[in-house]
Amino acid sequence: MFKLALRDTRASALRLAMSVVAVMLGVAFIVGTLCLRNVLSTTFGDIVDSGYRAAAYVESPSGVGNLVTNTRGDQVIPIDLAQQIATFEGVGAVIPEISGQAILVGADGTAVTGGGGAPSLGFAADGADPTMTISQGVAPSTSSQVALEESTAQRAGLTVGDPTTVIANGVIHKVTVSGLVHFDANMAGATLVLLDPDTARAAFAPSGTVPYLAVYAASQNDTSAAAPGATRTLSASAEQDFVDSVRQQLEAAGLSSQDYTVASGSSVREAATAQTSEQVGFISSLLLIFAALALCVGAFVIANTFSMTIRQKQREFAMLRAVGASPFQIFTRVVVQAVLVGCVGGLLGVAGGFGLVQGLRAVFGSVGMDLAGDLALTPTIAFVGVGLGVATAALSAAFAARRAALTAPVEAMRESAAPTVRPTRLRTRVGLAAVGLGAVGLVGNIVARRIDHDFGGALPYGLSCAVLLIGALMSAPVVAPIFIRAVSMPFTHATRPMGALAAGNISRNPKRTSATAGALTVGMALVAAAAVLAASTNASVKGLVEKEMTADFIIQSATFSVSADATAQIAQLPEVGLAAAFTTGTVQFDASTGGHTVSTTGETTGGTTGGMPAVPADTQLEIGGAQPGSFTAVWSTPALAGTFDTLGQGAAIIQKSFATQHDLTVGDEITVTGHTGSRSIPVGAIFDSAALGIPLMVSTDVLNELVPAEGQTINTVMVNGADGVPQSQLRAALAKVAAPYLVLSVMDQDEFTGHLTAQIDQVLTVLYGLLALSLVIASLGIMNTLGLSVVERTREIGLLRAVGLGRGHLAGTFIIESILTALFGTVLGMVVGIAIASGLPSLLAAQGLSELIVPWQPLVYMLGLAIVVGVAAALWPARRAAHLPVLDAIAAVE
Amino acid sequence: MSLRITLPAPQSSTVIAHARGLSKVYGSRATTVTALDNVDVDFERGKFTAIMGPSGSGKSTLMHLLAGLDTPTSGEVVLARRAVSQLNQRQLTKLRRTEMGFIFQSFNLIPTLTAAENITLPLDIARVAVDQEHMTRVVTALGLAGRLHHRPAEMSGGQQQRVACARALVSKPAVIFADEPTGNLDSATGREVLTFLRRSVDDLGQSVVMVTHDPVAASYAHRVLFLADGHIVTEQEDPTAESVLQVLGAVTRASRSLQEV
């Protein structure tokens, strides 16, 4: 039986080739994702390891932050502490972390970026830092000198002695490159600039505090001949001893404080690694979902292929049964074939996935982001890939195999044409029930949410969508003939007999048509839902901006932090009537206290929220500061309770959602704690603005009292022109101020809307790219089905040729069939996708999604794409059919 | 494929199709099989001709070559004044729509089309208007009037063959080629179909060429050609089942003894 299976496989190699390709694509995607995850983990792991080399760290309760995600802990540790600790026994060097955002201007005059979102940072060049090696030139010692990390210099096109500009924390410095610095790990495209200690301190630690101190043990100095001067990591026990020793000495010197603790280097590295793993895990989970989708689509193709092959071989199996083969033997024979397909496809997929990642690495490398990890492909991944391929193939073919095994021997005597198959009643009933259930669930969710905004959520909604989709797929065979007839009716007479032939062929086996089109259905449903979501989001954003933004111009930075210098200059421009800066700082809030105590901590430059592992996330909140009076001039949102004038009286204005969440009304007192002081602030007004993402705002005076200057970030600057100044003049003046800072954008209302929608469109493009894979597999499926049906209908083709159907017309029949199938799958998917997306506004109303727009343009493109897919998939089978010699076809044995 | 470019030999008004020097050889030097060896034959217009012979005699090959379904190794075929053996695929395809009708032993109909659509299939392909009067006549004569909107799966074998006959007749072709049309039918149904074919020849002037191994079927023809080993060995006018059986027996015995030599 095994030999039979092998022999048969060789004979039908071409038929199985497409199943192999389907498995290969799905497995390649999965293997590629897993390899990519490996690569990213290794790369970021390297960065963490080389960035946090010290044996001990003096850190605040919020931790040291994370180099990769560019976040920092609270800046509370006095720099002078470093000098004192340096005198302790066993301590080699103590390096305070003086760093922040810095933008480097390259040789071509533009800001140096690393691609892929890599950060752009400035550091203090500390001579005592054991991890820093000057490879060329000298370390910077004056404010007009900087040193560059090696790959940064390469990307910038700068060498020792070149003049350039550095913008450190919003302040422009004209400098010369004094030297190049080497770090041990590759920095994955990050831009690193080293400043002299004084300038760095002024820019990044003006109040004399830093986020942490790196304490290196004297024993970390590697005095071995192999790597003289390098820093080695201590063993776990040695490290722990060192940490204890430093702690004791701190106590002994009376320097202990509640503000900081001593942590071991390993714990710091572990915390940072855990964080990056979380982020990498999120991305790779998303990719794995798409990969699984691709594999499912591939499973469709395989199941279809084997189903058709089995039907063809029905007589052969019946004959085998008649000569005494057991059902199990026949089952095994089919499954063996499937396993072979899975093996070959799996192996090819593993190779493909690995190649994919290598290609990706090359692409990233060309934009400056070097990824590490020489051995992305581990034996585990390869095993998983092949295993998945085999499992998918075997399972998909199992149903068809079962049918083959149970073929009665008497079938061998029957001679019939390809039978017409009606969909089973049970499946149809279940399918329609599922559709009904899903629809009810969706509508129910929508209605319930209108009544009570917190009802349900993503999970019940997602479930309803899934049920709807599955129901649609199951009941598709019933819908298919109706759809086909409706679509083809206008053309049937004009294209007779091809139209009628094509439509008839599809309707003859609706189950197979639906299975073939199913892959397209799933892919198109997601694409349609995404398109509707994107269009709706864009419209909502546009609506919001139009409604609420009343300023003439808005200025934002690509680094999310507008330079304070630039802001001051803008405010002084004669063309400017009012410049309102929105500043932010991070808040800590303890939900369990019932909402009346809110503490603030400063957010340091260059980062977003300081979400550190040591502090639970739900205690963090961002607050904003605005100049009283200017707020209403540039932003139009009504006060639902109270008045905005209270800002000037030291009160806070809060968002409606925040008020509801913490049971606050106008007049309630909130206790606010910052590291420089605490205040009790009354609630002055409540407003509802989805565009302004900040839940709580105070006046700039109050913010200044709570958060140090280096903890504040100017998020946006809104500008109104002075009376009588034309827009163009105002824009020119603003642009002139903004230009030297390189990363600032001056936008009017339309440009701002465009800026926001561009980000949404970017995400959409990535989604389209991922779904394109499922489309490729789907068209493979159609090609597969058509190819096999050519074989199945050989006699019929012979008959048609004998009565005079030309080759071109015969090919045309297949092409029309393919187009109709593709159209059916697409339209079904679109309907489901739009249904799914229609409920999203009610689900995401809190996030600002207020409108539902069904964009007809992308949908028409999708229909066009379906036709293209249909034609492309049919070309090869149609050609095969057309070139079948008439005589052979007529004489073929069914 | 013959390399000679010949002009079609002039046809008299009584000959609808003829073959001259027709040969078909399969295989290469070492393993050649001669299916037809230098056959000359005329087919009269408005007559029912049967072609018979033992298996391997070349009867099917002869019909395939006459119908343009296969190309001869040498010789020519002329049908309705067209040199069928020299036409290319496109021209042959066109010819099949209007000048030839086919009835096979089984699988004559497209399963997804109704009987009516099957009958008008060649005309639909040719974009020629259907002669409704003729169609009604044919359909009535074949007793298919109530079955026109049924699919083949809903009809018996005999009814399907009758639909195939209707299709062959509706386009009024020069020749109807029938390959064992009654092979899959019971004797009563088979006789019905044969009777109708003969009547179409007598009443409508249709020309029919039928390959068969059944002497009863051959008895419905005007003339029977007997083939053996790629040659026409003899023919018979106005055959009966017994006379055909006799000749067939003699031909088969002669052929077998030749083989044993």
Q: What whole-number distance in Å separates Cα of residue B26 and Cα of residue B60?
A: 14
Contacts with A, B 118-177, CB within 8 Å = 121-122, 124-126, 153, 167
Q: Determine whether the interchain pair B112/A507 forms a contact, defined as Cβ–Cβ distance below 8 Å.
A: yes
Q: By C-alpha distance, which of B102, B5, B177 is closest to A799?
A: B102
| Nearest CB partner across the interface for B64, out of A500, A806, A887 | A887
Q: Do A504 and B113 touch (CB under 8 A)?
A: yes
> Which of B64, B108, B113 has its CB closest to that of A500?
B113
The answer to whether the Cβ–Cβ distance between A796 and B97 falls below 8 Å is: no
Average pLDDT of every residue of chain A: 81
Helix (H, G, I), strand (E, B) or coil at A1: coil
| Model pLDDT, residue A418 | 46
Residues of A with CB under 8 A from a CB of B: 415, 417-418, 420, 496-497, 500-501, 504-505, 507-508, 795-796, 799-807, 809, 886-887, 890, 894
Query: Looking at beta carbons, which residues of chain A come within 8 Å of B153?
Result: 420
Question: What does chain B come to in residues?
Answer: 261
Least confident span in A229-233, A577-581, A660-664, B195-199:
A229-233
What residues pair up with A263 in beta bridges, in sequence order? A57
Mean pLDDT for A256-269 is 85
Which residues of chain A does B126 touch, with a Cβ-Cβ cutoff of 8 Å?
Answer: 804
| Residue in B111, B112, B122 nearest the CB of A803 | B122
CA quadruple A863, A865, A866, A871: dihedral sign:
positive
Distance from CA of B101 to the nearest CA of A (A): 7
Which residues 44-73 of B are in CB contact (within 8 Å) with A?
64, 69-70
Using CA atoms in the order A535, A536, A540, A546, what is the torsion angle rounded to 10 degrees?
40
The pLDDT assigned to A21 comes to 83
DSSP of A774-827? HHHHHHHHHHHHHHHHHHHTHHHHHHHHHTT--HHHHHHHHHHHHHHHHHHHHH
What type of residue is B165? C
For residue B96, the chain A residues in CB contact (below 8 A) are: 801-804
Q: What is the pLDDT of residues A184-240, one digit of tens each?
A: 766 777 888 999 999 998 888 888 888 888 888 888 776 554 555 567 778 888 888
**Residue A332 pLDDT greater than 80, yes or no:** yes
Q: Do B126 and A500 touch (CB under 8 A)?
A: no
| Segment A823-845, tens digit of pLDDT | 999 999 999 999 888 887 777 77
Q: Rounded distance, CA A346 to CA A650, Å?
A: 66
The gap from C-alpha A539 to its chain's centroid, in whole angstroms, comes to 22
- Helix (H, G, I), strand (E, B), or coil: what is residue A684? strand
Residue B206 CB contacts under 8 Å (≥ 6 apart), including other chains: B46, B169, B172, B173, B176, B200
Chain B 70-109, residues with CB within 8 Å of chain A CB atoms:
70, 89-90, 93-98, 100, 102, 104, 106-109
Predicted pLDDT at B105: 85
- Secondary structure, 3-state, chain B: CCCCCCCCCCCCCCEEEEEEEEEEEECCHHHCEEEEEEEEEEEECCCEEEEECCCCCCHHHHHHHHCCCCCCCEEEEEECCEEHHHCCHHHHHHHHHHCEEEECCCCCCCCCCCHHHHHCHHHHHHCCCCCHHHHHHHHHHCCCHHHCCCCHHHCCHHHHHHHHHHHHHHCCCCEEEEECCCCCCCHHHHHHHHHHHHHHHHHHCCEEEEECCCHHHHCCCCEEEEEECCEEEEEEECCCHHHHHHHHHHHHHHHHHHHHC
Q: Locate tokens 């794409």: which residue?
A: A865
Q: Are A780 and A301 in contact (CB under 8 A)?
A: yes
Which of A508, A799, A807 lies nearest to residue B107, judging by beta carbons?
A799
Q: Chain B: nearest CA to A479, how far in angstroms?
A: 18
Contact A105, A359 (CB under 8 A): no
| Contacts of A793 by beta carbon, 8 Å cutoff, 6+ apart | A418, A505
Cβ B93–A807 below 8 Å, yes or no? yes
Contact yes or no for B111 and A418 at CB 8 A: yes
Mean pLDDT of all residues belonging to chain B: 87
Q: What is the mean pLDDT of residues B113-123?
A: 90
Backbone φ and ψ for B61, nearest 5 degrees, come out as -60, -45
| Calpha distance A820→A789 (Å, rounded) | 15
What was the pLDDT predicted at B132? 92
CB contact under 8 A, A497 and B95: no
How sure is the predictor about A588, in pLDDT bands with cuts at 50, 70 and 90?
A: low
Do B80 and B26 form a contact (C-beta atoms < 8 A)? no
Question: Containing H/E element for A837?
Answer: helix A807-838
For residues A777-792, average pLDDT: 82
Q: Test A795 with B107 for CB contact under 8 angstroms.
A: yes
Q: Give the distance, in angstroms, between the CA of residue A531 and the centroid of all CA atoms in the same chain.
A: 16
Name the pLDDT band for A894 (thresholds 50, 70, 90): very low
Whole-number pLDDT of residue B175: 93
Contact assessment for residue A817 and residue A873, using Cβ atoms and an 8 Å cutoff: no
Give the chain B residue whose CA is nearest to the CA of A883.
B89
Q: Which helix (H) or strand (E) holds A421?
A: none
Tell me the percentage of chain A whose pLDDT exceeds 70: 87
Best residue in A498, A507, A792, A803 for a mutation probing chain B (most B CBs within 10 Å): A803
- Categorize the per-residue pLDDT at A605 as very low, low, confident or very high, splitting at 50, 70 and 90: very low
Chain A contact set for B70 (CB, 8 A): 887
A782-804 b/e (C-beta count within 10 Å ≥ 16 → b): bbbbbbbbbbbbbbbbbbbbbbb
C-beta separation of A877 from A814 below 8 A: yes
What token pair was written down for B81? 């004044």
Nearest Cα neighbor of A874 from A777, A785, A772 is A785
Which among B94, B117, B153 has the least Cβ separation from residue A804?
B94
Q: How far apart are alpha carbons A338 and A787 in whole angstroms?
A: 19
Chain B nearest C-alpha distance from A357 (Å): 49
Q: Do B104 and A800 touch (CB under 8 A)?
A: no
Low-confidence winner among A327-331, A549-553, A772-776, A845-849 (lowest mean pLDDT)? A845-849
Q: How far is CA A544 from CA A460, A639, A696, in A?
A: 28, 16, 19
- Taking contacts as CB-CB distances below 8 angstroms, the residues of chain A near B177 are none
Contacts of A807 in chain B (CB under 8 A): 89-90, 93
pLDDT band (50, 70, 90) for residue A822: very high
Among A501, A796, A804, whose Cβ lies nearest the Cβ of B93? A804
Residue from B43, B163, B147 nearest B103 by CA: B163
Q: Which residue has the higher pLDDT, A4 or B164?
A: B164
A257 vs A595, more confident = A257
Give the residue from chain B lying closest to A493, CA to CA: B124
Distance of CA B170 to the CA centre of its chain: 16
For B97-108, what is each residue's pLDDT tens digit? 889 998 988 878
- Alpha-carbon distance A508 to nearest alpha carbon in chain B (angstroms): 7
Residue A323 has pLDDT above 80, yes or no: no
Tokens linked to A214: 């790196």
Least confident of A496-510, A562-576, A826-840, B236-250: A496-510
Contact predicate B109/B118, CB 8 Å: yes
In chain B, which residues have their Cβ closer than 8 Å to the Cβ of A806? 90, 93-94, 125
Burial class (CB in 10 A: 0-12, 13-18, 19+), B27: exposed
Q: Between A559 and A750, whose confidence is greater?
A: A750
Q: Give the pLDDT band of residue A593 (cuts 50, 70, 90).
A: very low
Give the C-alpha separation, A864 to B157, whole Å. 44
What Cα–Cα distance (Å) separates residue A540 from each residue in A553, A690, A760, A845?
20, 10, 12, 10
Tell me: pLDDT of B219 over 90: yes
Could you say which of A505, A809, A886 has the minimum Cβ distance to residue B125?
Answer: A809
Which residue out of B112, B149, B160 would a mutagenesis test of the A interface target, given it has the greatest number of A Cβ atoms within 10 Å?
B112
To the nearest whole Å, the CA of B6 is away from the closest chain A CA by 25
So what's the ipTM on this one? 0.83
Closest chain B residue to the Cα of A808, Cα to Cα: B90
Q: Which amino acid is at A869?
A: V
Q: What are phi and psi of A161, to 5 degrees?
A: 100, -15
Q: How far apart are CA A342 and CA A326, in angstroms?
A: 24
Test B111 with A420 for CB contact under 8 angstroms: yes
Interface contacts (A, B; CB < 8 Å)? 76
User: Nearest Cα to A261, choosing from A61, A434, A5, A400?
Assistant: A61
Look at residue B76 in the predicted model and tell me its pLDDT.
92
Neighbour count for residue A657 (Cβ, 10 Å) = 14
Reported as half-sphere exposure (CB side, CA atoms, 13 A), residue B228 has a value of 18
Q: Tens digit of pLDDT for each residue in A353-398? A: 888 888 888 877 776 667 766 667 788 889 989 998 899 888 888 8
Closest Cα in chain B to A794:
B107
The pLDDT score that the predictor gives to residue A413 is 58
For residue A194, the model assigns a pLDDT of: 92
SS3 track for A593-662: HCCCEEEECCCCCCCCCCCCCCCCHHHEEEEEEECCCHHHHHECCCEEEECHHHHHHCCEEEEHHHHHHH
Taking every pair of Cα atoms in chain A, the longest distance, rounded to a whole number of angstroms, is: 106
Identify the top-confidence range among A237-246, A618-627, A706-715.
A237-246
Reduced to 3 states (helix: H, G, I; strand: E, B; else coil), residue A72 is strand
CB spacing of B113 vs A799 below 8 angstroms: no
**Which H or E run contains A220?**
none
Least CB–CB distance from A501: residue in B90, B96, B112? B112
Backbone angles phi, psi at A491, to 5 degrees: -100, -15
State CA B7 to chain mean position distance.
25
Cis peptide before A497 (omega within 30 of 0): yes
- The confidence score (pLDDT) of residue A454 equals 63
Q: Of B95, B97, B110, which is closest to A501 when you measure between CB atoms?
A: B110
pLDDT at A116 over 80: no
Query: How do A163-168 and A99-104 pair as beta strands?
Result: antiparallel
Report the C-alpha gap between A320 and A333 in whole angstroms: 11
- Chain A neighbours among B 224-243 (CB < 8 Å)? none
Which positions in chain B touch A801 (Cβ < 8 Å)?
Answer: 93, 96
Q: Give the minimum alpha-carbon distance from A813 to chain B in angstroms, rounded to a whole number.
A: 12
Q: Give residue A569's Cα distance to chain centre.
A: 38
Q: Tell me how far apart the alpha carbons of residues A376 and A387 are, in angstroms, rounded to a whole number.
A: 18
| pLDDT at site A164 | 92
Whether B125 and A805 lie within 8 Å, measured CB to CB: yes
Q: For A889, name the nearest residue in chain B, comparing CA atoms only.
A: B69
